[in-house]
Amino acid sequence: MTGVPFLLVSVLLFFRRRSAVPTAAAALGIVAAAGMITSGAGFAFDTYASSGKWLEVANELAFVIVGVAVIARGSSDTRGIAGGALGLLAIWAGLARYPVLVHGVVLSIFPPTAARALVALTVWSAGAATALGVVVYGDVLDRVQEPSESEPLW
């Protein structure tokens, strides 16, 4: 039931306030990115963490910095698409951490319940951000005018 609020917000925005979709995609993308970095850091800073966890979090952080910079400097549509891209990255990272939801032992600096909640928050907010980002991308593609057959492409 964790994802119901994200689903409801996404559906309501899509049908009621289409103009707010890019902003919501960017905001949900930032929430998903924050959850991804926080949960990744929780696993990386654990006593039993491998060096691969450090590398994974460092790569995620690099992508998040670029995504947040695009959100901070881009146009409304660019922000929505960047939020969707951050969501897509966070879905990948959250699903890679899926075993924390089904195993009894959680190797994280956070308590097991908090680590599980953080992964669930990341996946659900990332799914909503990705869905809204795809809507923004589709709207941008619809606005692009196709070249006519009489016009040369070069």
> pTM for the full model?
0.84
Picking from 44, 39, 87, the residue whose alpha carbon sits closest to that of residue 63 is 87
Q: Is the model's pLDDT at 115 over the cut of 80?
A: yes
How confident is the model over 83-100, as pLDDT tens digits? 999 999 999 999 998 888
Q: Is the pLDDT of residue 123 over 50?
A: yes
Number of domains in the chain: 1
Per-residue pLDDT at 122: 92
77 occurs within a structural domain: yes
Structural domain span for residue 40: 25-138
The Cα 53–Cα 47 span in angstroms is 12
Residue 30 lies in a domain: yes
Environment class of 118 (CB within 10 Å of its CB; exposed 0-12, middle 13-18, buried 19+): buried
Q: Which pLDDT score, from 0 to 100, does residue 153 have?
A: 46
Range from 11-25, 46-60, 131-145 carrying the lowest mean pLDDT: 11-25
Residue 8, in any domain of the structure: no
The larger pLDDT score, comparing residue 138 to residue 153, is at: 138
pLDDT digits (tens, 9 = 90+) for 35-60: 999 999 998 988 888 888 889 999 99
CB neighbour class for 144 (10 Å; exposed up to 12, middle 13-18, buried from 19): exposed
Query: What does pLDDT average to over the chain?
Result: 86
Question: Does some domain include residue 17?
Answer: no
Identify the weakest region by mean pLDDT among 9-18, 121-130, 135-144.
Answer: 9-18
Residue 148 pLDDT > 80, yes or no?
Answer: no
